[in-house]
Amino acid sequence: MKTLYAILALLFLTAPYYCDAYALSVLILAFYTAYVGQTWNLLLGYAGQLSFGHALYAGIGSYLAAGLFLQFGWSPWLTMPLIILLTGLLGAAIGFLGFRFGVQGVYFTLLTIAFAECGRIIFDHWPLFGGTAGLFLPINHMPNFWYLRGNLTLFYYLFLSLVVAGFAISWMFLNTRLGYFSQAIRENEQAAQALGISTFWIKVKVMGLSASLTSLGGIFYAFYQNTLFPDQTFALSRSIELTMGTIIGGVGTLLGPIIGSLILVPLGELIHYIAGEEIVGIKHMFYGFCLLGIILYLPKGIIPAFKSWQKKRIKD
Burial class of residue 258 (count of CB atoms within 10 Å of its CB; 0-12, 13-18, 19+): buried
- pLDDT tens string 65-122: 999 999 999 999 999 999 999 999 999 999 999 999 888 889 999 999 999 999 999 9
pLDDT range class, residue 1, cuts 50, 70, 90: low
How far is the C-alpha of 246 from the C-alpha of 260, rounded, in Å?
6
Give mean pLDDT, residues 159-166. 97
Closest CA to 119 of 161, 77, 152, 91: 91
| Measured CA angle at 110 (ends 209, 207), to 5 deg | 10
> H-helix or E-strand containing 87?
helix 76-100
pLDDT of residue 209: 97
pLDDT of residue 278: 66
> H-helix or E-strand containing 5?
helix 2-13
pLDDT range class, residue 141, cuts 50, 70, 90: low
> H-helix or E-strand containing 39?
helix 21-44
Contact 43, 51 (CB under 8 A): yes
The SS3 assignment for 104 reads coil
The SS3 assignment for 40 reads helix
Question: Per-residue pLDDT for 309 more than 90?
Answer: no
DSSP assignment of 192-233: HHHTT--HHHHHHHHHHHHHHHHHHHHHHHHHHH-EE-HHHH
Question: Per-residue pLDDT for 202 more than 80?
Answer: yes
Q: Which backbone phi and psi does 227 adopt, to 5 degrees? A: -130, 140
Give mean pLDDT, residues 240-268. 93
Question: Per-residue pLDDT for 129 more than 80?
Answer: yes
Task: Output the 3-class SS for 171-192.
Answer: HHHHCCHHHHHHHHHHHCHHHH
- pLDDT tens string 269-306: 888 777 766 666 777 788 888 888 888 888 889 999 88
pLDDT of residue 212: 97
> H-helix or E-strand containing 136?
strand 135-136
Q: Which backbone phi and psi does 307 adopt, to 5 degrees? A: -65, -40
pLDDT of residue 234: 94
pLDDT of residue 44: 95
| Measured CA angle at 20 (ends 15, 22), to 5 deg | 110
pLDDT of residue 190: 92
Task: Give the number of residues written for the chain.
Answer: 316
How far is the C-alpha of 84 from the C-alpha of 90, rounded, in Å?
10
Task: Output the 3-class SS for 247-260.
Answer: HHHCCCCCCHHHHH
Could you give the angle at which helices 106-124 and 55-72 cross, rounded to 10 degrees?
20
